[in-house]
Structure 1
């Protein structure tokens, strides 16, 4: 056992790190102790410098991260890349950060070491500062004569100053990481969110992903959630409101027309390819639920996507429609109502609406206790109209996206569950695909789990990222 007691104060500010160290060494190599402390220093120095490569290189491939004493969240094993990406998505929201470390106590045992030390972190926005204080226990291992962090634990003592700064930093990062955009689709202005990776640079080139959600929805629902996760993985992800929905132009409002939405996807792809920082030859698509069918039609119509990933795809044909909507009689009844509503619109310009989702109105497009659409903490957000134009029923019920599978030659991956919506449609679609393909079946996941619940959304995103990195 080799024990080194080192007293040090390290100020990390911007690109400068000043260290004053006095050490008493017993039976140890002074160079080795300095290397151990330098690895720990690099972690904090890199964070203050926003040098995420330095942060990542200070750690082993996987690290047990434990900030539970401050956050209340359980410790977890994360990759060095995940830790660097998480810090990169938060710390630059401050004007600057400054870490001060002191009183290092290093215990070395062969190729492993434990370091206990004091830490103080100042976070600045304008004239305000938020300070966190405590101690750290950091474990390291030696590989090829280099020390790497394997465990990093904060023992939180106190915080002071403006404790609202973390929330403000998050909002600042959102403003930096989401760019409001607009483009034209058949003469209409469609508005979207362009989700950018941490440390985004206009001079670099990124792979772009079009992200679309379920029927009747807006970009702020499941599309933005997946786009944020894709941006965290280094992609530029575009979400947008289809015509007739959300912030985009188009009349009648909340009018669901598959063919129009497919054309909007095609035009969104064309727009993304015009951006100077997008690799125009490597744009992909991630579609959730019903928009999987719209994206399939867009591909059949020539959308220049190089690979796509469908999450919980709702893909139906005439037979599946009958199973879902009350048999032939139920389908014909809805089509008749649709035709009557369209005739009335043509005559007097009035739109007949029903709720998109309701537990009380049996005429709703989705009648039942669908918590995602009814819960304000989930999908029942202010940006969503919860309306369905009755005259849209005919086009929806007669839309058959499964027929387009045989016309798609690019790589397609499906992530679904047998306990989610219409898995038989996904199976039929997958069978008819001609190009490279893959299907992943998730155990015991509902349709709405894929919309916003963990671990399903993160797992589905990770599956998509693996697919895109392989195919783009």
Structure 2
């Protein structure tokens, strides 16, 4: 059973979907999972898919649009802002505690790709989170950022563009955008033939905007360091990754840096995008 919901995060209205187990009874208490997706994505993509599947296994699950995306409020649109997403996931925990049937002592996080960093940051700070699972987690640090985004020069150019975009937005209210994905425009946030985002039968759906990535996003994204949170995580952790997934060595290092033994690293096959929607993974 799926239910449309809304809740507020720092005064911003967020839209989401709750999924309930088969034969749900409001008089019983169920463990709950907040599911996060990749950067720029909406609840109808991988987070909703995982949320629906997990609900079949006895969980109440939540997938929602973080602020600036999808049906949620927030300006400018399509702003990938790490601190805002962390706050939104934190407020999603508070929201779930008000949902009838949720066991308030059993709220967990499941993070696909980029949300792994955001949810790791939240788990490190919020003891109400009782466990974290990452699936093909994008966990970068400053060195990884330089390798991925064109070295020191490439990173500096993006940061300069973001600073200029922020100045224009604050002074004139105008938002500078680049494509979220493109096979021809090298300035796109994701430049390449990535079928998941281009295929309307997968992630290239009408609810997602392939042509919009706010340039202002580069500042927060490129300076965010999710790797640093591993040492502060006290909850049980499950990490699902593989050699074909992004930043594989970072995933191993993140796992090694978690300072307790209640952790599992499940190494498997498949590309990064297989983990988004391939049911065999």
Fold in common (TM above 0.5): yes
CA distance in 2, matches of 1:294, 1:442: 23
The answer on whether the counterparts of 1:190 and 1:242 sit within 8 Å (CA) in structure 2 is yes
Partner of residue 69 from structure 2, selected from 238, 241, 245: 245
Partner of residue 3 from structure 2, selected from 147, 166, 179: 179
CA distance in 2, matches of 1:412, 1:353: 36
Q: What is the match of residue 56 of structure 2?
A: 232
How do 1:40-59 and structure 2 match up within 5 A? Answer: none
The answer on whether the counterparts of 2:120 and 2:132 sit within 8 Å (CA) in structure 1 is no
Q: What is the match of residue 400 of structure 1?
A: 225
The answer to whether structure 1 residue 441 and structure 2 residue 267 are counterparts is yes
Q: What is the match of residue 343 of structure 1?
A: 167
CA distance in 1, matches of 2:79, 2:127: 22
Does the C-alpha gap of structure 1 residues 268 and 381 become closer, same or farther in structure 2, counting only changes over 3 Å? same
The answer on whether the counterparts of 1:244 and 1:255 sit within 8 Å (CA) in structure 2 is yes
1:148-195 alpha-carbon deviations (Å, 9 max, x no partner): xxxxxxxxxxxxxxxxxxxxxxxxxxxxx1011111100011111000
CA distance in 1, matches of 2:15, 2:89: 13
- How large is the Cα RMSD of the aligned pairs? 1.0
Q: How many residues align?
A: 279
The answer on whether the counterparts of 1:266 and 1:303 sit within 8 Å (CA) in structure 2 is no
The answer to whether structure 1 residue 432 and structure 2 residue 253 are counterparts is no
Q: What is the match of residue 265 of structure 1?
A: 89
The answer on whether the counterparts of 1:416 and 1:442 sit within 8 Å (CA) in structure 2 is yes
- TM-score by structure 1 length? 0.58
User: Which of the pair has more CA radius of gyration?
Assistant: 1
How do 1:4-403 and structure 2 match up within 5 A? Answer: 177-302=1-126, 304-386=128-210, 387-403=212-228
SS at match of 1:306: strand
- After TM superposition, give the deviation of residue 355 of structure 1 in Å: 0.9
CA distance in 2, matches of 1:304, 1:254: 29
1:243-274 alpha-carbon deviations (Å, 9 max, x no partner): 01111111111100011100100100111011
CA distance in 2, matches of 1:394, 1:418: 29
CA distance in 2, matches of 1:383, 1:442: 31
Q: What is the match of residue 244 of structure 2?
A: 419
Q: Which runs of 4+ in 1 moved over 4 A?
A: none
- Structure 1: state its 5+ residue gaps: 1-176, 457-472
CA distance in 2, matches of 1:454, 1:237: 18
CA distance in 2, matches of 1:300, 1:437: 14
Which structure dedicates a bigger proportion of its chain to strand?
A: 1
- TM-score by structure 2 length? 0.97
CA distance in 2, matches of 1:394, 1:186: 21
